[in-house]
A and B are shown apart, each in its own frame.
Chain A
Amino acid sequence: MLHTRRRFVMAAAAGMAGLMTAGAGAEEYRGTASVDLPMTNGRRPLVAYPQKQPMIVQSNRPPILETPFSVFDKSDITPNDYFFVRWHEAGIPMEVDLSTFRLNVHGLVKNALTLTVDQLQKEFEPVEIVAVDQCSGNSRGLFLPRVPGGEWANGGMGNARWKGVRLKDVLAKAGIASGAKQMSYHGLDHGVLPATPRFRKALDIEMVMGHPDMLIAYEMNGEPLPLLNGFPIRLIVPGWFATYWVKMLADIEIIDHIDNNFWMATAYRIPDTPGGSVAPTQTGFKTIPINRMVVRSFITNIEDGAFISGLAAGTGGAVGVSVRGIAFDGGSGIKKVEFSADGGQTWSDATLGTDLGKYSFRRWTATWTARVGSGTHTLACRATANDGQQQGFTTAWNPGGYLKNNIELYKVSV
């Protein structure tokens, strides 16, 4: 078994700098456990919320919980009790009762529907799909220069087996009327103040009627959804960022215009530039709603800054070190993952693991032949998707903190 010891110098230094700038207002954690994410002001409490294991608390109210990254090494599927949580507004029902819960489908439809979850389960064909759910702002806290928002490290994502019914089947039952342009939808959550714009998202009718894999899911990894992940139902938009995966989905309205509400017209927008990138000083650029995810890959069993000990050297002091990781993209599937032990100067193909579908995490493994006592090395991984997208050394920068997908570098010592 490979032993890695967290050499926390970099992370701790960043955390200390953060605490020092915090000065007189240094926060209290009330004695709870905490972790230091590798960013200034990166200290976070580590707490078990209802139906959850101890997770990185990005925010208590509204609840935002990040998955500790080591979880991604344990299986291709992220367990429900470790699955990340992100709500926008604190008006979240803490109790959901199926006897009163309804999904309403209305607007430009031939027959408005009011469905119980039981009806969804009985009246439509059940479908299962494995898909990555990733927050639009995942890794935002690692942006340089920093941008304001939810300051995630890389754990604002998860991969689950979703079961539910096809969105297009439900919409077909309602019957889309002519002139329909978008599906505008929201969950049970709302702002604390009545004037706060309710979290509402919208997708084009062509997309929702043409996408065979968009689901209204009532099951996650064979179990009901945890309340914080959207019990009883949520929208699954495979390949697209999680902002569209509305939880506690309660209302679908078919509209004859482009939804212009705050959450579409102002928030969750990316620059309409190559790669969604702009210079930090740039202003006045055109923006579009965020959409498909970009290709990413990570090493899951070795942390940046690790000292790998306990290696039994063979002939000539060389030893094979197993390296494991995950890769995913916006729904074309992973074609190739490459591994480098010299910071990306030379690459070799990694071995791809079980294919759980084009929307899923794809496991990969590689063997690094290291020499015990040879000092510091920079490990790296690079994924290529079936649509031709490949990770590069640079990544998008934009004021929303979206689309980070650079080749990850892991400095390790042996």
Chain B
Amino acid sequence: MMRAAGLGFALLLVAGAALGASAQTKLPNKVSIQIPPPERTFGPGPNQNVVMANCLVCHNADYPYNQGPMTRAQWTAEVNKMRGAYKANISDADVPKIVDYLMTINGKP
């Protein structure tokens, strides 16, 4: 396996020279990484547990905090986008609860 790869690399050097391009980089056979834990979490607020149970399935707390402050109608549209476009399993009853929380952390009249 290693020998075959080495041979291929040598052949490529020749081919590369003929084409006037630089030698091929030998890629690592495997790359693995680990993403650090979130720097930011959902802080206290009404229905915090509902928010954590629903929203953290797909994303951490960064997005809601980073938005410009939004109205109740705008936050409701965002939660409905998560349901409609991204197919999040948020129950009808949980939508206003999540919106209450979002209005507390980042709402405007």
Contact = CB atoms under 8 A, between A and B. Distances in A.
Indicate, yes or no, whether A interacts with B.
Answer: yes
A27 B41 contact: yes
Contacts, number: 180
A350 to B, nearest CB: 32
B58 to A, nearest CB: 5
B58 A151 contact: no
A60 B30 contact: no
A148 B63 CA distance: 9
Given A24-B104, A95-B31, A45 B39 contact: yes
A41 B67 contact: yes
Interface residues of B, number: 56
B91 interface: no
A218 interface: yes
Given A148-B70, A266-B85, A57 B39 contact: yes
Contacts of A26: 43, 105
Nearest to A219: B25
A371 interface: no
A128 B66 CA distance: 37
A118 to B, nearest CB: 7
Given A58-B62, A192-B57, A28 B40 contact: yes
28 contacts: A21-B107, A22-B105, A23-B105, A24-B104, A25-B43, A26-B43, A26-B105, A29-B39, A45-B39, A57-B39, A59-B59, A60-B37, A60-B39, A61-B35, A61-B38, A99-B30, A121-B12, A125-B19, A126-B21, A146-B67, A148-B74, A148-B78, A193-B57, A193-B58, A196-B58, A197-B86, A228-B33, A266-B85
Cβ-closest 3 pairs across A and B: A25-B105, A146-B68, A50-B33
Interface of B: 5, 8, 11-12, 15-16, 19, 21-22, 24-25, 27-45, 57-63, 65-70, 74, 78, 85-89, 101, 104-108
